[in-house]
Chain A
């Protein structure tokens, strides 16, 4: 469905002189350097997949998404989506995709929301029967009735997102691109959006690509994650693999009855100690039972628990430590 080979997008960044004569020098000589926003990325996505596209701010996520949706022309590389080269035949291509850019709305600002939705019937030439049945379905799933008559400018963020999702799906797109679909929403609203996205993917077989900063989005929705930073694709695979490969160490937190002496454990290191509580870190492969029996043999223990590293922490470690590129 989506084929990307050696895709690159470079931007020219202009530098400005800041000393005296700056205005004149800026005018006469334009120093510039190249920013590799997307640098030699390859991947392919099958029909019906739901893929999470991750990366810190400025990593190149949005740039990739804009090329995939035909808004940006790649500097080099090959890009084919659903049989189209997106930027070459924009009008034909965009009729087959849906997109929601979380921080922007596609609704008419000062018209009742329903007017924006009804215009889509004419824009996409949706047969009336199909249009009505889709609208009915999305009304129910997204609870649109309460605000369909209100202008988009007066909607809450959650309502606006629901309306925008509906707008992106009225024409039964084969692929749905979601850029930060849950940004700024509260926990309940996020959950609702996720359930809806999941349902669309399952019931309609819509291929979905979403970028997000919220790891819960990816955990709950995606079986596959792609991670990008500095324009490079660093990881592409199952989310659980990411955890296994880079999730690093698990933790054992132990509360002792009395301050322990001569504390030593094979296969585990102490990473913090406060009063009677000691935290050990150990490799994924190490068996917890062995650690615990070693501890209880020599010490009196009140309580203990094992912590899996959170995916969020894993991601943070990857961003901060460049774990993947190392």
Chain B
């Protein structure tokens, strides 16, 4: 009895710690108001640009690869709304703390480095979701009449898929950042990885517009599950595959998290804290 009680307590305090870190990260990111507003304007501007390019692809026909004009505009709105949420342009905060030596302070705390950063990243993502994400979707809804999920159930599945995408994207970026433990300049490698992320996640172009063979190759990687999967579920063009998509997302979230732990354990063993 006593044992199970302490287990429950342990889980509660871990969840509490996670939330306390997330809360502080939210608080931090919400203070950058100017950055949020300018980011929002840039988002909308590029959204317009991308929508007109993609619509030109339709060139008279009413649909391309199963999507009509409304689907395409919805796709653009969603990617613009979510690109910061799932960091399609990459992220190198962890790498920078390694190079600045600040990682020392973090390793001196009795927390899992992965969970510590995940909690912070969730905070960052949630900030982006409530500030940029929701406002972009609202603007697009009123101006371009984009699609909206038709049922509460679909909203729920979209949010679930988004949550999983956040974890998958984070685990991938975390692993890329761990390269900093091995190389004094892992930035070049990271840049390459993040370009691949933008391309393969379906951010630059919907994956269904790619040739079949490429779609098959990408389906074997975690990238589509960081962005494309959410879009497919939101637009409802892959309704029959929803369970399969969510299952794959869970698979990749678990696999990448595990991989991150393994690499992290090796990284800290060979750690060289720079300076002083």
List residues of chain A with CB under 8 Å of any chain B CB.
11, 62, 66, 69-73, 87, 90-92, 94-95, 97, 99, 101, 103-106, 108, 110-111, 115, 118-119, 122-125, 179-180
Contacts and interface: CB of A to CB of B under 8 A. Distances in A.
Contacts of A108: 24, 28
B129 to A, nearest CB: 20
Contact of A104 (B269, B270, B276): B276
Contacts of B135: none
A312 to B, nearest CB: 22
Contacts of A97: 108
What is the size category of the interface that chain B forms with chain A?
20 to 34
A268 B271 CA distance: 54
B104 to A, nearest CB: 6
Nearest to B111: A123
A118 B27 CA distance: 14
B139 interface: no
B262 to A, nearest CB: 16
B274 to A, nearest CB: 11
Contacts of B273: 66, 71-72
Given A70-B107, A71-B107, A110 B31 contact: yes
B10 to A, nearest CB: 9
A119 B110 contact: no
B33 interface: no
B24 A94 contact: no
B102 A104 contact: yes
Contacts of A62: 276
B104 A71 contact: yes
Contact of A106 (B27, B101, B108, B272): B108
B21 A111 contact: no
Contacts of A119: 20-21, 24
Nearest to B103: A71
Contacts of B272: 11, 72
- Best-buried of A71, A92, A99, A108 by chain B (most CB within 10 Å): A71
Contact of A90 (B20, B28, B107): B107
Q: Which 5 pairs, one residue from A and one from B, show the smallest C-beta to C-beta distance?
A: A95-B110, A106-B105, A122-B17, A122-B20, A91-B110
B11 to A, nearest CB: 12
Nearest to A112: B27
Task: Select the residue from B31, B104, B110, B268 with max chain A CB neighbours within 10 A.
Answer: B110
18 contacts: A66-B273, A71-B271, A73-B271, A90-B107, A91-B110, A91-B112, A94-B109, A99-B108, A104-B104, A104-B276, A106-B105, A111-B24, A118-B20, A122-B16, A123-B109, A123-B111, A124-B110, A180-B276
